[in-house]
Structure 1
Amino acid sequence: MANSSEDGELNVSFHGTSNSCCVSNVTNINFTSYEQSPDFYVIIPVIYSVICAMGLTGNTAVIYVILKAPKMKTVTNMFILNLAIADDLFTLVLPINIAEHLLHYWPFGEILCKVILSIDHYNIFSSIYFLTVMSVDRYLVVLATIRSKRMPHRTYRAARIISFGIWGLVTLIVSPFFVFANVYKDGLNITSCGLNFPKPERFWFKASRIYTLILGFAIPVSTFCILYIIMLYKLRHTRLNSNAKALDKAKKKVTIMVFIVLAVCLFCWTPFHLATIVALTTDVPQTPLVIGISYFITSLSYANSCLNPFLYAFLDDSFQKSFRKMLECRAD
């Protein structure tokens, strides 16, 4: 859902982050005919249900292990914990998205509309911001290892304070979407939940997409790309002493894990943001193919919320050991 207009200037009906990426620049859009299609009607709820089940199971396991296992209380794991909380929060509201898709209208009232749309946007910003902070942390760790310096201020408590700061920043960024989220009736008199902008709607809608693109993609992606380029350059052009040569093996493993989680996040979210650029600069025709691509891109961005736990399970030995140990304790 997005914005509505009584004069027909811009009438789009889709969720804040979903189904909007490819068609946000088209006027008088109506998805009802496509949503009634048996393919979309059945496939989308199935995909969302799988993402929801995998995401809730995996992220809840990550949260449980990090909170319960003493050895898991590290700086990196504090950021991973918050990343899992953000993903869990999003997957918890996916059933409401599924219900709305099946019903073809919004039955849950205005308060829940504002909450769900805000959480939908939290999903865009929180993951990328926590990954950016993890990249900064990795950069500082690698730099300190190269110089054989200690980092006395890099503590679990400091990571917790930074995490609270990120949640505060994301809340501030998402607050305009909470304000504009409303329940309204579209041209077909169907109750919808979306971003209901003041006039001129087209200007506000484009501004909201540019706002999301810059704060939710361009700035954080530029930040961690620059950091990793500098990190690789320093590693390649610095003669490491025996202490730093293996980058302390464990630190090297964590750095690789953060890099892979980052790469998967980019793989899942880049199509969404690229499609936003296309939608802002081109009049995309409303065709079944375009709607299908839009659903695929949205599902891919949603899928990021359930992939991270499996990456930790494959890439982090300490997570595997802690998880196995806890399972053994529960079995006993």
Structure 2
Amino acid sequence: MDEPATTFMTTVMEYTETDPSDDPDYEILLENTGMCKRDWVRHFRGQYEPPLFWIIFILGAVGNLLVVWIYTTVRNRLKTMTDVYLLNLAVADLLFLCMLPFWAVDATKGWNFGVGLCKLVSAVYKINFFSSMFLLTCISVDRYIAIVQVTKAQNLKKKRLFYSKLACLGVWFVSTLLALPEFIFAHVKPEQGGMSFCTLVYWNNTDNRTKILVLSLQICMGFCLPLLVMFFCYSVIIRTLLQAKSFEKHKALRVIFVVVFVFVLSQLPYNSLLIVEAAQAANTTMTECDTVIRFDIAGQVAKSLAFTHACLNPFLYVFIGVRFRQDLLRIAKMCVGGHGKGGFSKTVPKRPSVMSDTDTTPALSI
């Protein structure tokens, strides 16, 4: 979360020979200029973020590496559009997870890795943020076509795999473009106490137009648009399944509710605070230090919650599938019972892939 009145602090530090905090009227000066001392916020971040980030890193690395391993080794080839999207989603999460150790160190010891790595780490996070949301949106569209538009799905069965790979290329390209503000505005900013932090430092617009534009772009493209598409697709899917009399199809509703609920639960708080931050940049409404500090704490917690999507995705979008879970059980039995009798081709029979196009109901059920 960016700190307000950064320009004021920079001016004070550059044009005074003494530490401004030595001034007995320093606290009053900060209040009058909208600047607040946030030592307690940094202390909270240093205690709270590192252990959480390491937990997310370990769980996410194990889950996503297992997904990549099964798709590239056990199954040998991608059979459906969803397979392609899930593999790219796992790769995107792995790239993001590789950045978490840097953020964990930044929270405790400050940023000592240089400006170039600061820009790279910030950009990779934002690329993952956008690509993950877009890929989850692609999965919802794919499920919509497979369940609601069955005839069209069968007619385009051979071309859909090609279209999915093309869509993934488009997702990575657009996500990289949307992450350009991170390359431009990410800088290492020195602060009180001799520590430096990797953060976004926007151009000094008097009306904060640049910051408002960047935040609006992130909110609209990274949350609102994917949420609207997912809501439309899954609402139509739910209506279609409710019209079916098969009990197995109704069981699929549980997975859909979990997918949408977790998506909103992890991303809504952080994006709601981004809306407040954009409003604050447009028209300063929070002037009391206590309010600003509480907002900063809430922003840290909400951002950490949003980070959890990198370790939850494998469980929600892959492991919850019946077929994938059965494959994992077979692999586990092979590892426990010995694998001298044959390789994966003998141990794991060829089966339709997770959430396959030809038989979506069992794959979606829990």
The CA distance in 1 between the partners of 2:55 and 2:175, in whole Å, is 27
What is residue 6 of structure 1 aligned with on the other side?
A: 7
The CA distance in 2 between the partners of 1:258 and 1:233, in whole Å, is 12
Q: TM-score, normalization: structure 1?
A: 0.79
1:194-249 Cα distance to aligned partner (Å, 9 max, x none): 2222221733222211111111111221122123334444555x7x6xxxx659x6
The partner residue of 1:304 within 305, 309, 312 is 309
Which of these two proteins has the greater Rg computed from alpha carbons? 2
The CA distance in 2 between the partners of 1:195 and 1:117, in whole Å, is 9
Greater relative contact order (Cα 8 A, min sep 6): structure 1 or 2? 1
* Structure 2 residue runs without a partner (length 5+): 13-32, 340-366
- Aligned residues: percent identity? 23
Mapping of 1:76-95 within 5 angstroms?
A: 76-95=82-101
Q: Matched residue of 2:202: which SS?
A: coil
Change over 3 Å in CA distance of 1:254–1:64 after alignment to 2: farther
Which letter does structure 2 place at the counterpart of 1:209? L
Change over 3 Å in CA distance of 1:253–1:163 after alignment to 2: farther
Q: Matched residue of 2:148: which SS?
A: helix
Change over 3 Å in CA distance of 1:147–1:78 after alignment to 2: closer
The CA distance in 2 between the partners of 1:27 and 1:48, in whole Å, is 31
The CA distance in 2 between the partners of 1:91 and 1:69, in whole Å, is 24
Change over 3 Å in CA distance of 1:43–1:161 after alignment to 2: same
Change over 3 Å in CA distance of 1:101–1:149 after alignment to 2: closer
What is residue 327 of structure 1 aligned with on the other side?
A: 332
The CA distance in 2 between the partners of 1:146 and 1:10, in whole Å, is 66
Instruction: Tell me by how many angstroms 1:59 deviates.
Output: 1.1
The partner residue of 1:278 within 261, 272, 276 is 276
Which letter does structure 2 place at the counterpart of 1:50? I
What is residue 35 of structure 1 aligned with on the other side?
A: 42
What is residue 212 of structure 1 aligned with on the other side?
A: 218
Which letter does structure 1 place at the counterpart of 2:42? E
The CA distance in 1 between the partners of 2:199 and 2:38, in whole Å, is 14
* Aligned partners of 2:241 and 2:250 also within 8 Å: no
What is residue 144 of structure 1 aligned with on the other side?
A: 149
Q: TM-score, normalization: structure 2?
A: 0.73
Which letter does structure 1 place at the counterpart of 2:297? G
Instruction: Tell me by how many angstroms 1:61 deviates.
Output: 1.0
* Structure 1 residue runs without a partner (length 5+): 12-25
- Matched length: 307
1:250-293 Cα distance to aligned partner (Å, 9 max, x none): x8877864663343122100111111122333534543543432
The partner residue of 1:99 within 90, 96, 105 is 105
* Aligned partners of 1:9 and 1:28 also within 8 Å: no
Mapping of 1:213-228 within 5 angstroms?
A: 213-228=219-234
Q: Matched residue of 2:308: which SS?
A: helix
- After superposing the two structures, state which structure 1 stretch, 61-70 or 193-202, moved more: 193-202
Which letter does structure 1 place at the counterpart of 2:117? L
The partner residue of 1:199 within 186, 197, 204 is 204
The CA distance in 2 between the partners of 1:313 and 1:140, in whole Å, is 19
